[in-house]
């Protein structure tokens, strides 16, 4: 993988073709995880904590995405949440979350997604990569959110009409509906809860949907006015990042940089700057996360 600064983004036509591929394989994986969900679905393994779960379908979804992207884009790299990545020879790396909102999926709560993004740059280096095409599929609703660099963002339900996405435009935090989420490690959750105590009184309300990819698409669609979260991985945010910016929104780390695991803040302007100030000042008041 090469750093972003050394890579010219693909042409608009290439970005559209990449978005078509992203939507195609994300829809296929979404069909798989719904139609072949075992009746006795359980936890296959855990990662950072006992509640950071992986199901057999997370790996099956990623294996399908890996196989199909190797068929459709054999020179590209592949980087997923679960096991099985590969280095490519082209400038494109596919960054996938095979099931974003895994806990919702485990509990059969219809708020999970397959997220597929084509990125340029080195996805292992925070701030050194950016998405150029992507798709987020919610198989429970049939929604396929997609975006391509410079080509806009849209949503389509099944074979229905395609609707262009545009962020909402509230002008201040106190009337903003804001999404957020929490990590899997208890010390981080305690820190996130402390930050939330300073944010909640200053916004309309909070929504904790349980899927960062869907949260970001909801911002792009105006179903949320803003979103923030600490601790996201590249696969959680890669596609939703582009859906937000191509819908006229802004996404960053709260300090003028690209979104990273330190902090993701997404909204339309002028709310984005105010929300970033609110969240960053709350983090400053709470102090650093222990450990
Ligand atoms: C989830 C994120 C969500 C966050 C959860 C979890 P996963 O990703 O999409 O925003 O709050 O803690 O990280 O683990 O379901 O792929």
> What are the extents of the domains in the chain?
4-164, 173-286
Condensed to tens digits (0 to 9), the pLDDT of residues 191-233 reads 999 999 999 999 999 999 999 999 999 999 999 999 999 999 9
Q: What is the overall mean pLDDT for the chain?
A: 95
> What pTM was computed for the model?
0.96
- Predicted local confidence at residue 3, as pLDDT: 42
pLDDT in tens, 230-285: 999 999 999 999 999 999 999 999 999 999 999 999 999 999 999 999 999 999 99
> Can you give the pLDDT at residue 1?
36
Write down the pLDDT at residue 6: 55
The pLDDT of residue 132:
98
Name the percent of the chain lying above pLDDT 70: 98
Ligand 1 atom with the smallest distance to the CA of 105 is: 15
For the CA of 183, the closest atom of ligand 1 is 12
CATH number of 173-286, picked from 3.50.50.60, 3.40.50.970, 3.40.190.80, 1.10.10.60: 3.40.190.80
Q: What pLDDT sits at residue 290? A: 87
CA of 208 to the centre of ligand 1 (A): 10
Per-residue pLDDT tens digits for 3-37:
444 567 899 999 999 999 999 999 999 999 999 99
- The confidence band for 83, taking pLDDT boundaries of 50, 70 and 90, is confident
Question: What percent of the chain lies above the pLDDT cut of 90?
Answer: 88
For the chain, what is the HEC assignment?
A: CCCHHHCCCCCHHHHHHHHHHHHHHHHHHHHHHHHCCCCCCCCCEECCCCCCEECHHHHHHHHHHHHHHHHHCCCCEEEECCCCCECCCCCCEEEEEEEECHHHHHCCCCCCEEEEEEEEECCCCCCCEEEEEEEEEECCCCEEEEEECCCCEEEEECCCCEEECCCCCCCCHHHCEEECCCCCCHHHHHHHHHHHHHHHHHCCEEECCCCHHHHHHHHHHCCCCEEEECCCCHHHHHHHHHHHHHCCCEEECCCCCCCECCEEEEECCCHHHHHHHHHHHHHHHHCCCCC
Establish whether domains 4-164 and 173-286 are of one fold. no
**What mean pLDDT comes out for the span 25-50?**
93
pLDDT band at 2 (very low <50, low <70, confident <90, very high): very low
Q: Which residues line ligand 1 (CB under 6 A)?
A: 81, 97, 100-102, 181-184, 210-212, 229, 236
User: What's residue 42's pLDDT?
Assistant: 85
Which CATH entry fits the domain spanning 4-164: 2.70.150.10, 3.10.20.30, 3.30.540.10, 3.30.70.100? 3.30.540.10
Task: Tell me the CA–centroid distance for residue 267 and ligand 1, in Å.
Answer: 19
Distance 271 CA to ligand 1 centre (A): 24
């Amino acid at each position: 993988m090469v750093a972003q600064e050394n890579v010219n983004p693909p042409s608009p036509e290439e970005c559209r073709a990449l978005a078509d591929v992203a939507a195609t394989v994300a829809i296929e994986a979404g069909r798989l995880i719904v139609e072949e969900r075992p009746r006795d679905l359980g936890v296959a393994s855990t990662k950072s904590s006992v509640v950071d779960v992986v199901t057999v379908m997370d790996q099956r979804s990623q294996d399908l995405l890996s196989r199909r992207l190797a068929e459709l884009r054999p020179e590209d790299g592949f980087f997923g949440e679960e096991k099985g990545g590969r280095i490519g020879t082209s400038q494109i790396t596919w960054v996938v979350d095979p099931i974003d909102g895994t806990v919702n999926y485990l509990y059969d709560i219809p708020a999970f997604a397959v997220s597929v993004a084509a990125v340029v740059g080195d996805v292992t280096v925070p701030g050194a990569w950016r998405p150029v095409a992507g798709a987020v599929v919610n198989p429970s609703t049939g929604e396929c959110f997609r975006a391509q660099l410079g080509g806009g963002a849209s949503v389509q339900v099944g074979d229905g009409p395609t609707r262009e996405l545009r962020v909402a435009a509230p002008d201040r935090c106190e009337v903003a509906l804001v999404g957020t989420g929490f990590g899997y490690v208890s010390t981080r959750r305690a820190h996130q809860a402390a930050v939330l105590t300073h944010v909640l009184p200053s916004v309309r309300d909070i929504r904790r949907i349980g899927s960062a990819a869907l949260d970001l698409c909801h911002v792009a669609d105006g179903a949320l006015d803003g979103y923030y979260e600490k601790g996201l991985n590249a696969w959680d945010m890669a596609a939703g990042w582009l859906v937000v910016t191509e819908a006229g929104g802004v996404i960053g780390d709260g300090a003028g940089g690209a979104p990273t695991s330190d902090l993701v803040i997404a909204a339309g302007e002028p709310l984005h700057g105010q929300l970033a100030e609110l969240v960053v000042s709350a983090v400053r008041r709470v102090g650093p996360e222990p450990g």
